A = this chain, B = another copy of it.
Amino acid sequence: MNEARRDITSETDTYPTRVFDREYWTDRKDPVVWADWSEHSPISREQAQSYERNGYLVIRDAFSPAEIRHLQDAAHDLRQALGGSDAEDVITEPGTDAVRTIFRLERYSSMFLRLAQDARLAGVARFLMGEDVYIHQSRLNYKPGFTGKEFYWHSDFETWHAEDGMPRPRAVSASVLLTDNSALNGPLMLIPGSHRHFIGCAGKTPERNHETSLKAQKVGTPSHGALEWLVDRYGIDPAVGPAGTLIFFDSNTMHGSNGNITPFPRSNAFFVFNAVSNQLRQPYAAPNPRPEFLAERGRPVPLPVRKGPLA
């Protein structure tokens, strides 16, 4: 039984959150990049070091113009096909048939399954996590212009640990931009270096929290003081770029996005890759686990990694 495994099964929670009535900080106890870099690694040494240091990595021009067009077409078709769907993993704008989010994206589309398996996504994720990975969560996000809502600061791992039972921050998110994203249309904002601090949040998780937390998180957000400390120390980086830009970020990197009144919509395909040894357990700080479309609870099946162009 290795170190990590022993700790996971101990009585003590390494990353306590939503336990106390106040915020509780813990230093990160785990690596950020779990494999040693070699010349066979799928990213450069500088990229690996940058990800380790900042908790995120932006790769422009990861895809060819033809690949980007294929992905945009697939996203468009999927959104049309699922308009008005009442599936639990298809979220529509209140009061309309317009699709805002499609969860479990790779089950709805062979094109997006292929994207998830691509060496540029799953291959990099497998390197960063130092072992095989599976898809913990995936989604196609479509945020319209004019009325794009903000998403407040949070660490994904804080939620996944508390509500899904993810033991360790051994997961990485990959976002493929399907629209151009500038500093003005509500880009992903990250606090570089924040992934080295786990901010255990004050308060308890209410029942069926996910039904409201996907729109606006209440429990599981850091205090103003915590954010001031982090931003004062590390600053804020926007992750911007043209369609086709690929963004990786650590599960514990603090991030959020402003609203968007510009006419420019934002669309992206989003995959969370979790290490197979980091399989979910019972929630660490919630009465019940969230639904499977938000957090894969089946036995982890290692994702194959495919090379070559998409489509």
Q: Measuring CB to CB, which residues of chain A are less than 8 angstroms from any residue of chain B? A: 145-146, 150, 152-153, 182-184, 186, 189, 224, 227-228, 231-232, 236, 238, 256-264
Contacts and interface: CB of A to CB of B under 8 A. Distances in A.
B256 A258 contact: no
Nearest to A237: B184
Given A146-B227, A184-B238, A259 B259 contact: yes
Contacts of A182: 183
A271 to B, nearest CB: 24
Given A146-B224, A227-B146, A261 B153 contact: yes
Nearest to A240: B183
Given A146-B224, A224-B146, A262 B231 contact: yes
Contact of A258 (B152, B236, B261): B261
Nearest to A232: B263
A218 to B, nearest CB: 14
| Those 7 A-B pairs whose CB atoms lie nearest each other, nearest first | A183-B183, A259-B259, A228-B263, A231-B263, A258-B258, A150-B259, A256-B261
Contacts of A186: 258
Contacts of A231: 262-264
Copy count, this protein chain: 2
Contact of A236 (B150, B224, B262): B262
Given A146-B224, A183-B184, 15 more contacts: A146-B227, A182-B183, A183-B238, A184-B189, A184-B236, A186-B258, A189-B261, A189-B262, A227-B263, A228-B263, A232-B263, A236-B262, A256-B261, A257-B261, A259-B259
Contacts of A152: 261
A153 B145 CA distance: 12
Contacts of A257: 261
A182 B184 CA distance: 10
Contacts of A228: 263
A236 B238 CA distance: 18
A254 to B, nearest CB: 11
Please indicate which of the listed interface residues A152, A238, A263 has the most CB atoms of chain B within 10 Å of its own CB.
Answer: A263
Contacts of A256: 261
Contacts of A260: 258
Contacts of A261: 150, 152-153, 189, 256-258
A160 B145 CA distance: 27
Nearest to A151: B261
Contacts of A224: 145-146, 263
A178 to B, nearest CB: 19
A259 B238 CA distance: 15
A152 B259 CA distance: 11
A232 B145 CA distance: 13
A243 B122 CA distance: 45
